Structure 1
């Protein structure tokens, strides 16, 4: 298959498999989504979802969170890993949101990425899932599958994101990045597929 044919097939098949794409991280608004995405770094969404209820019961707005002791935050989010760094980031970004953004999560990539603990991937998820702005967050699943499906040879997420944006319509990005994640978890995990055995891997390797 040529790259365009692979992309078209993947887009069509993923739409068949995942016509609905619920956001994996439980949240109530852009702020709680931002915190959940920050916590998901090097942690599963499932584990984050077991931790955030207690955290958001303690504080669910920047105004509330800025007044919570960092040690209290750290104790609650400990199961997510990297708790010293994440708890400090949660506290500091909450103060910044209150002081500089009126307690609101900014709908702007640069402003989001300026927040402590918020990189481009986290900002992309928030922009896509909270505000509906076209973005293509690249996580480990998407990076792996983009290579297996011969959509990108990028060595880093920046290159992979650029390649995927070129190959798929902008109006599909927000849904497609979730569809790829769902497929990677269900059928094409790092250990569950060798890049040849799952349905899409096998299909995209076929000659014309």
Structure 2
């Protein structure tokens, strides 16, 4: 592509990220004279999910902001993944404010990542507030809340939310069962665990 002067840097960058070569991807990205929001999102995705370089992900987010670029519904989930993994609650809250300000609070994927971020930072109250304010909740969001409660030691709340999920007609998946049965184990209630297993699997 370089030899034949094919000007598709964003395409090239996304493919290099898929190859999981951080040094090469960083070199290509740094050679972009005016990286757009797509290029930033590609790098943020790689840093947050492929390379798990969470601190660098947060730094890159602030770099795009300093260049005057507008973060979108693809940007914020990667920021929140990073914040949740490094305990970056302050950065996460700043991002949450901007999500609300730019009208992205209706995006389920953004909200799901927000719930997960708050849960991992131990802020279940904020996670529940985001969850309660969601207009259209999918199974992913229910699982995020149930998993958060279970992992943070709120076993009873995890069970109660699971019951609410079932009442609203959602079928549990493997992630739901792992979280709920884990909560049953924390409560030391073998009977409830068996009931949950029977209730979900027949």
- Higher Rg: 2
Identify whether the pair has TM-score above 0.5, normalized to the shorter chain. Answer: no
TM-score scaled to structure 2, two decimals? 0.27
Query: Higher helix share goes to which structure?
Result: 2
Q: TM-score, normalised by structure 1?
A: 0.27
